[in-house]
């Protein structure tokens, strides 16, 4: 039982609710989310006085008790209209040309209003009556039973908010998560007291990078950087970091998930307790509770990925697994910190984190890369193998089953190209993905095992789709980019059809059937839904609609922000480049080859004060980095040419007026 007095009491209420009401449609989380109307001692006294029949409280008396002593679950989060929401923001999804899809995208965009909340002042005034934690700013909740803000969900929520031009709301979410680090030393799984014991995949630095990329907000970087350093310390602390010696005798450090919890999860206590009945000893039960909570820290709760026996959750062994995606996220955290410290002029810390990230890259290469599969894979530790805290690497301990997580390192191509994948055969990896069986008609399956767990086949999840799609779209080969677009289009299609059928966006989808939402797991399918909305909008921003082969387009667009060049700091121009002949490749020529274009058409002009560096969609030409894509550095030669052309045009017009 939890040591927090309110939480301990709410778990008693939860347990009695199950006995009184039965398991049908029972959601244990509901009861630990209830805010108290009165002081705790009064509620406990009244609860203890309730009549019982064979240990069970009659339903009518129990419901009366709930009404008298508790507010509704979620009532301590109140509606808060986002200050930066506009029904159709300027520059919103400019490449979505199909009217039906555009209307749908605007409906998805409008869902941000329904998911926007702020924590009630009552939580700040009487925190002892709430399991909800106070946060200073607006939050976007996932939806349905997930009434509070969640950690890794927020990255894809922010990606969608940025597509919706809601920069202030995106920053507010970041500041809320930073406040959790400042209070607890890490970002919590979610903003509830019962989540303090664990985190979720570390993506805060990625959220900050996305916002900075769009806005150039250096003050945001300065504000968040101390928290990011704390977060890094959390993920390389003794509880998470593991040392493994490879076959050449080199020692590597990688990280794992490990919650600080050895009891039933309060939000699912009745479920955990029932599962533990098959275990014999208290130590076995405690170990199971620890593993289940650690799996929840992974965000993949639950999956055959973490289980010795895929049909038995009590065989979960997450703390003995070195996950490839977690270490990918931490590698990116380290690179992001290096970038941010360089931005503020701290070159020493920047170089330190470059070296730290290089060590992690070498560890991933040595321990988690499988050249025969052409995949990165998880590594299972032998709990009896560690000698003075150091494990010996065994190639047979790599988990060679196909999971979508095996391809998450591709995501780094969109952010730090050639920093992690430079030594790997890109063609081998793409072929491995195509042959893996994970790519289905309507998205990427989470695994190939149909276990009934929600992070297994046939479910597809928005974050996994997005990371792999974004990585493929940034790869060198045209085949990879076309595959990215194909997966994206099919994922958008199935979500569109599901929305039209049900009127809702869903937490997960069945990738075998168009328009069918996913199932399985320990709770009913949920709607809302924060990260699914975000990925839909991000993919529509990236790929547009209807599908166009943007790598062989006759009408090519180039977006330039003069704020990022020395040519002109007050004006941004978007030009359309019209080729004399049909394009034969995707590369935009340098200025000395602009004769291949018959003219440059100024598309429109805007003052930079009204647009961010990524206010408008950017067409990608050839193989360019994310930084080049945002700053336009690769196109400075074209920019200069275009600017001079514009000046010459103005001079001619002025001379004509004089004449």
User: Other C-beta atoms within 10 Å of 564: how many?
Assistant: 18
Q: What is the pLDDT of residue 252?
A: 98
With a cut of 80, say whether residue 552 has pLDDT above it: no
Question: Which one of 561-565, 567-571, 645-649 scores highest in mean pLDDT?
Answer: 645-649
DSSP 303-363: -GGGBSSTT-GGGB-GGGEE-HHHHHHHHHHHHHHHHHHHHTT-HHHHHHHHHHHHHHHHH
Q: What is the pLDDT of residue 652?
A: 64
In tens, the pLDDT along 478-515 reads 999 999 999 999 999 999 999 999 999 999 999 999 99
Q: In whole angstroms, what is the distance from residue 298 CA to residue 289 CA? A: 15
Which tokens hold the place of 286? 């405690």
Active site residues: 301, 507
Q: What is the pLDDT of residue 417?
A: 78
Q: What does pTM read for this prediction?
A: 0.84
Q: 35: helix, coil or strand?
A: coil
Strands (E), 489-596: 508-510, 556-559, 571-579
Q: In whole angstroms, what is the distance from residue 541 CA to residue 210 CA? A: 14
Looking at residue 36, what DSSP letter applies?
A: B
* Strands 369-370 and 375-376, bridge-based pairing: antiparallel
Which residues in 457-489 are b (16+ Cβ under 10 Å) and which e?
bbbbbbbbbbbbbbbbbbbbeeebbebbbebbb
The model's confidence at residue 3, banded by pLDDT at 50, 70 and 90, is: confident
Which residue, 633, 650, 465, 656, is CA-closest to 562?
Answer: 633
Q: Which of 236-245, 299-308, 329-338, 608-617 has the lowest mean pLDDT?
A: 608-617
With a cut of 50, say whether residue 627 has pLDDT above it: no
Which residues in 148-161 are b (16+ Cβ under 10 Å) and which e?
bbbbbbbbbbbbbb
Q: Which residues contact 491 (CB under 8 A, 6 or more apart)?
A: 442, 443, 460, 462, 465, 469, 509, 535, 539
Q: What is the pLDDT of residue 526?
A: 94
Q: What is the pLDDT of residue 656?
A: 64
Strand partners, 176: none
Q: What is the pLDDT of residue 384?
A: 86
Which residue, 106, 360, 347, is CA-closest to 242?
Answer: 360
* Strands 443-444 and 439-440, bridge-based pairing: antiparallel
Q: In whole angstroms, what is the distance from residue 491 CA to residue 512 CA? A: 11
With a cut of 80, say whether residue 221 has pLDDT above it: yes
Angle separating helix axes 462-473 and 530-543, nearest 10 degrees: 20
The structural domains of the chain, with segments of one domain joined by +, span: 5-32+37-69, 77-235, 266-315, 402-522, 551-658
DSSP 374-402: TEE--EE--TTT-BTTEEEP-GGGB--S-
Average pLDDT of the chain is: 86
Q: What is the pLDDT of residue 610?
A: 34
* Strands 375-376 and 116-119, bridge-based pairing: unpaired
Q: Which of 59-73, 407-421, 433-447, 565-579 has the lowest mean pLDDT?
A: 565-579
Q: Phi/psi of residue 116, each to 5°? A: -85, 130
The model's confidence at residue 565, banded by pLDDT at 50, 70 and 90, is: very low
Q: What is the pLDDT of residue 648?
A: 54
- Asked whether 89 and 617 are in contact (CB, 8 A), the reply is no
Residue carrying the six token digits 């992974």? 298
User: Other C-beta atoms within 10 Å of 251: how many?
Assistant: 11
In tens, the pLDDT along 161-176 reads 999 999 999 999 999 9
Q: Nearest 5°: CA angle at 613, between 610 and 619?
A: 115
């Amino acid at each position: 039982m939890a040591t927090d007095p309110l939480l301990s009491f709410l778990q008693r209420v939860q347990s009695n609710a199950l006995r009184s009401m039965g398991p049908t449609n029972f959601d244990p989380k509901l009861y630990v989310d209830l805010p108290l109307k009165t002081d705790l001692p009064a509620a406990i006294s009244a609860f203890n006085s309730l009549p019982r029949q064979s240990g069970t409280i009659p339903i009518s008396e129990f419901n009366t008790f709930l009404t008298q002593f508790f507010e509704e679950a979620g009532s301590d989060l109140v509606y808060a209209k986002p200050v930066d929401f506009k029904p159709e923001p300027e520059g919103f999804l400019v490449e979505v040309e199909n009217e039906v899809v555009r209307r749908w995208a605007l409906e998805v965009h409008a869902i941000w209003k329904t998911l926007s909340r702020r924590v009630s002042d009552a939580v700040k005034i009487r925190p002892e009556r709430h399991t909800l934690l106070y946060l200073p700013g607006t939050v976007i909740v996932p939806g349905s039973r997930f009434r509070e803000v969640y950690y890794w969900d927020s990255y894809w929520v922010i990606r969608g908010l940025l597509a919706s031009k809601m920069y202030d709301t995106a920053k507010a979410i970041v500041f809320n998560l930073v406040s959790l680090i400042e209070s607890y030393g890490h970002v919590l799984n979610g903003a509830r007291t019962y989540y303090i014991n664990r985190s979720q995949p570390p993506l805060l630095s990625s959220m900050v990078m996305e916002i900075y990329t769009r806005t150039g907000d250096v003050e945001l970087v300065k504000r968040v950087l101390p928290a990011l350093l704390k977060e890094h310390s959390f993920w390389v602390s003794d509880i998470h970091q593991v040392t493994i010696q490879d076959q050449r005798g080199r020692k590597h450090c990688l990280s794992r998930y490990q919650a600080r919890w050895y009891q039933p999860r309060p939000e699912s206590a009745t479920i955990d307790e029932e599962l533990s009945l098959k275990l014999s000893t208290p130590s076995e039960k405690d170990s199971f509770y620890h593993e289940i909570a650690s799996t929840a820290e992974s965000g993949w709760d639950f999956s055959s990925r973490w289980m010795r026996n895929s049909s038995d959750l009590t065989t979960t062994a997450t703390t003995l697994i070195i996950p490839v995606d977690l270490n990918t996220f931490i590698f990116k955290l380290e690179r992001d910190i290096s970038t941010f410290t360089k931005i503020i002029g701290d070159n020493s810390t920047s170089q330190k984190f470059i070296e730290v990230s290089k060590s992690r890259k070498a560890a991933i290469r040595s321990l988690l890369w499988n050249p025969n599969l052409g995949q990165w894979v998880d590594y299972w530790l032998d709990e009896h193998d560690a000698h003075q805290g150091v494990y010996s690497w065994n190639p047979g301990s790599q988990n060679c089953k196909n999971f979508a997580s095996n391809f998450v390192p591709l995501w780094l191509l969109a952010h730090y190209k050639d920093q992690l994948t430079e030594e790997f055969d890109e063609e081998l990896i793409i072929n491995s993905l195509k042959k893996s069986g994970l790519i289905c008609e309507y998205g990427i399956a989470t695994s190939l095992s149909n276990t009934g767990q929600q992070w297994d086949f046939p479910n597809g999840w928005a974050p996994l789709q997005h990371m792999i799609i974004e990585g493929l779209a940034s790869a060198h080969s045209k085949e990879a980019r076309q595959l990215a677009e194909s997966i994206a289009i099919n994922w958008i299609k199935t979500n569109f059809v599901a929305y039209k059928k049900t009127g809702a966006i869903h937490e997960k989808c069945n990738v075998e059937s168009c328009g069918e939402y996913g199932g399985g797991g320990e709770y009913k399918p949920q709607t809302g839904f924060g990260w699914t909305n975000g990925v839909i909008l991000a993919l529509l921003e990236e790929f547009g609609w209807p599908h166009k082969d943007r790598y062989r387009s006759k009408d090519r667009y180039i977006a330039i922000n003069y704020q990022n060049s020395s040519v002109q700091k007050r004006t941004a121009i978007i030009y359309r480049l019209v080729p004399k002949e049909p394009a034969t490749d995707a590369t935009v020529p340098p200025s000395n080859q602009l004769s291949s274009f018959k003219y440059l058409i100024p598309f429109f002009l805007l003052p930079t004060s009204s647009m961010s560096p990524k206010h408008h969609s950017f067409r990608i030409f050839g193989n360019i980095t994310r930084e080049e894509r945002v700053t336009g550095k690769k196109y400075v030669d074209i920019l200069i040419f275009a600017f001079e052309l514009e000046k010459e045009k103005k001079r001619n017009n002025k001379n004509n007026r004089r004449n």
